[in-house]
Chains A and B, each alone.
Chain A
Amino acid sequence: MKNNFSLIIFSSFLQILGIFVVTFFILHLIPGDPIQVMLGESAAIADQMKLREELGLDQPIYKQMIDSFLQIFRGDFGKSILTGMPINDQIIDAMKNTYLLALSALCIAIIFGISGGLIAAKYKNSLIDRVIINSSLFFISIPHFFLGPLLMLWLSIWLGWLPISGMNSPFSIVLPALTLSLGMLAIIIKMTRNCMVEIMDSDAVRTARAKGLKEWTITINHIFRLVLIPLITIIGMQFGALLSGAVITETLFSWNGLGMLLVDSIQMRDYPITQACIFIIAISYVFVNLFTEILYKFLDPRMKSI
């Protein structure tokens, strides 16, 4: 197990290093002179020189890389080109909002996904089962940028229950969180149902029934524990889709998170912010994967022996 474990840590470390290198080179891949792209071609030479010096672009490339690595290691993401202010506060605020949104979506998906899957599996092949499975198929194939407007149309324009966008009221989070969660919810339902059905027919469960255990005990102790393992893998994998979906969802609902900051910074050509957003989103994904992997090892007794 120890060997396996260090391999996981090593590959995560490698990924973080890779993310750093890719985000570092973003600035250098801009066709032409990045300074001219950012300031415009008519900018004064003195301004150009100043910015070049500030971003460290006049240094040799290995030195730039080491400097920016040390900078990020200290938790400093540099200054915005547009306002000249340090972007740390902005990034941290956006990060909080994005995590709030992603975690709410995750909670909705897990709670309703697992209970929906349990119900569908309990009443296998009944009308409820078919309704749940077919509607989840619908939600798997609907992209975020269409589901969002549909929910806006239904819940806030026609029914008037929720604010359409922005983040002024505490209920503002409902629509973006729903938009973000439904795809994942559908996948969790499908997975839970199929696993449950498979395990319910297994010999182990039949033995447990024959021992005279209560149905409730069997469902929780024998069936659900086994379902949990593939479920955690799929949730970890889907978290990436959640993070990249957040870019679209936040833009759509004007939710001040990393995704919206990313899109805004791209439009404003404020590349330090773009770099920071991409870096943080990718790093979060790596950490979630690492966490999933570790959790997985603890939950699955078969993995411990390897």
Chain B
Amino acid sequence: MNKLVLFIAFFWLIGITIKLLFGFDSNQMVFSEILIEPNYSSWLGRDDYGRDIFHRLIDGFINSFEIIFLVTIISSFIGVLIGVIAGYFGGKLDQFVRYLTTLFMAFPGILLAIAFAAILSPGKANLIFALSIGGWVGYARLARAQTVLIKNLDFVKASESMGSSNKKIIVNHVLPSLKTPLIVEATYAVASLIIAEASLSFIGLGLQAPAASWGGMMRDSVRFLLVSPHYALFVGLSIMSLVYCINFFGDYLNHKWDVTKN
């Protein structure tokens, strides 16, 4: 594994350990040290309210992972359910699901999430809902393709001719084969969700102040680009390095299990 990736993972691990051991308050303000540069007491400096940037980054990390974890669980569950059913039973149902995914793919990137986050009041649950609503499509397409592939293999046909029920085939043959491609897909999805969540917070649709969120911090930091560029740099570097790490991990899994080839 790449040394840089290990270093970044290690950095976040230390941060979370500090949080768990000492339980700092990321909203604690020190007005005499507003926008101060990195020093011994605050490793990455302080923001415009005199709050420790490192502490806020850790809290933002925990907040966004809570959201992203739930979004991944919800959207992968819905996606797999729809995809497997459509792929396995085929026919009209499959056609309908195909139209449904085409429809959802008409909205570029995070536009659908923006639309739903805009009309629902800002908050954690609504943010999770807004991100999940477009998130299931990728999983559904993957699950459908894999199910169609598996369904036509000889051993599944054999099992079918021996009188196995549909439920038994899905549980014993289809779902296990989905495991590895799904984990790889989810890894890449987490990386793009980090950016999506931060983008929503950046335009003011994510977690509301004073809760720490990376997108919100990024938006605040841009206003102080002239006087304290370190603020924007640290926030941006955190997001970017984490996304890079997760993508790297996804590539690693992809290589290891040879998912693309299958």
Measured between beta carbons, the chain A residues less than 8 angstroms from B106 are 15-16, 18-19, 282, 285-286
The verdict on A152 contacting chain B, using a C-beta distance below 8 Å, is: yes
The verdict on B30 contacting chain A, using a C-beta distance below 8 Å, is: no
Q: A285 to B103, alpha carbons, bound, how many Å? A: 12
Measured between beta carbons, the chain A residues less than 8 angstroms from B118 are 26, 266, 274
| Residues A208-247 near B (CB distance < 8 A) | 239-241, 243-245, 247
Minimum CB–CB distance from B205 to chain A (whole Å) comes to 7
The verdict on A146 contacting chain B, using a C-beta distance below 8 Å, is: yes
Q: Contact check, B108 vs A282: say whether CB atoms are below 8 A apart.
A: yes
| Residues A99-154 near B (CB distance < 8 A) | 141-146, 148-150, 152-153
Measured between beta carbons, the chain B residues less than 8 angstroms from A15 are 102-103, 105-106
Q: A22 to B244, alpha carbons, bound, how many Å? A: 34
| Interface residues as binary, A264-278 with B (CB distance below 8 Å gives 1, 0 otherwise) | 001100010010001
| Interface residues as binary, A4-30 with B (CB distance below 8 Å gives 1, 0 otherwise) | 000000010011101100110011011
**A22-B115, A153-B232 as given contacts; A142 in contact with B107, CB under 8 Å:** no
Measured between beta carbons, the chain A residues less than 8 angstroms from B240 are 141-143, 146
| Residues A260-299 near B (CB distance < 8 A) | 262-263, 266-267, 271, 274, 278, 281-282, 285-286
When C-beta atoms are compared, the residue in chain B nearest to A25 turns out to be B119
Measured between beta carbons, the chain A residues less than 8 angstroms from B99 are 11, 14
The verdict on B73 contacting chain A, using a C-beta distance below 8 Å, is: no
Q: A263 to B110, alpha carbons, bound, how many Å? A: 13
Minimum CB–CB distance from B25 to chain A (whole Å) comes to 27
The verdict on B76 contacting chain A, using a C-beta distance below 8 Å, is: no
The verdict on A157 contacting chain B, using a C-beta distance below 8 Å, is: yes
**A14-B99, A143-B198, A251-B202 as given contacts; A244 in contact with B120, CB under 8 Å:** no
**A19-B107, A245-B109 as given contacts; A271 in contact with B119, CB under 8 Å:** yes
The verdict on A31 contacting chain B, using a C-beta distance below 8 Å, is: yes
Q: A142 to B242, alpha carbons, bound, how many Å? A: 11
The verdict on A95 contacting chain B, using a C-beta distance below 8 Å, is: no
Minimum CB–CB distance from A215 to chain B (whole Å) comes to 34
Number of residues on chain B facing chain A (CB within 8 A): 43
**A240-B108, A244-B109, A281-B108 as given contacts; A18 in contact with B205, CB under 8 Å:** no
Minimum CB–CB distance from A105 to chain B (whole Å) comes to 14
The verdict on B13 contacting chain A, using a C-beta distance below 8 Å, is: no
**Interface size class for chain A?**
35 or more
Measured between beta carbons, the chain A residues less than 8 angstroms from B103 are 14-15, 18
Q: Contact check, B204 vs A240: say whether CB atoms are below 8 A apart.
A: no
Q: A141 to B203, alpha carbons, bound, how many Å? A: 20
| Residues B217-234 near A (CB distance < 8 A) | 218-219, 221-222, 225-226, 229, 232-233
When C-beta atoms are compared, the residue in chain B nearest to A143 turns out to be B195
The verdict on A55 contacting chain B, using a C-beta distance below 8 Å, is: no
Q: Contact check, A150 vs B236: say whether CB atoms are below 8 A apart.
A: yes
Q: A257 to B111, alpha carbons, bound, how many Å? A: 15
Q: A157 to B116, alpha carbons, bound, how many Å? A: 36
Can you list 25 contacts pairing A with B, beta carbon distance less than 8 Å? A11-B99, A15-B103, A18-B106, A22-B107, A26-B118, A143-B195, A143-B236, A145-B219, A146-B237, A146-B239, A149-B232, A152-B222, A152-B225, A153-B225, A157-B226, A157-B229, A239-B108, A240-B108, A240-B109, A247-B203, A248-B199, A266-B203, A266-B204, A282-B106, A285-B107
- B interface, CB within 8 angstroms of A: 99, 102-103, 105-112, 114-116, 118-121, 195, 198-199, 202-205, 215, 218-219, 221-222, 225-226, 229, 232-233, 235-237, 239-240, 243-244, 247
- A interface, CB within 8 angstroms of B: 11, 14-16, 18-19, 22-23, 26-27, 29-31, 141-146, 148-150, 152-153, 157, 239-241, 243-245, 247-248, 251-252, 262-263, 266-267, 271, 274, 278, 281-282, 285-286
Q: Please give 17 more A-B residue pairs, beta carbons under 8 A apart, in addition to A15-B106, A30-B120.
A: A15-B105, A22-B115, A29-B116, A143-B236, A143-B240, A145-B199, A146-B239, A146-B240, A240-B109, A241-B109, A244-B111, A245-B109, A248-B203, A251-B202, A263-B203, A266-B114, A267-B204
Q: Please give me the 8 A-B residue pairs with the lowest Cβ-Cβ distance, nearest first.
A: A244-B109, A240-B108, A146-B236, A18-B103, A15-B106, A266-B118, A285-B108, A141-B244
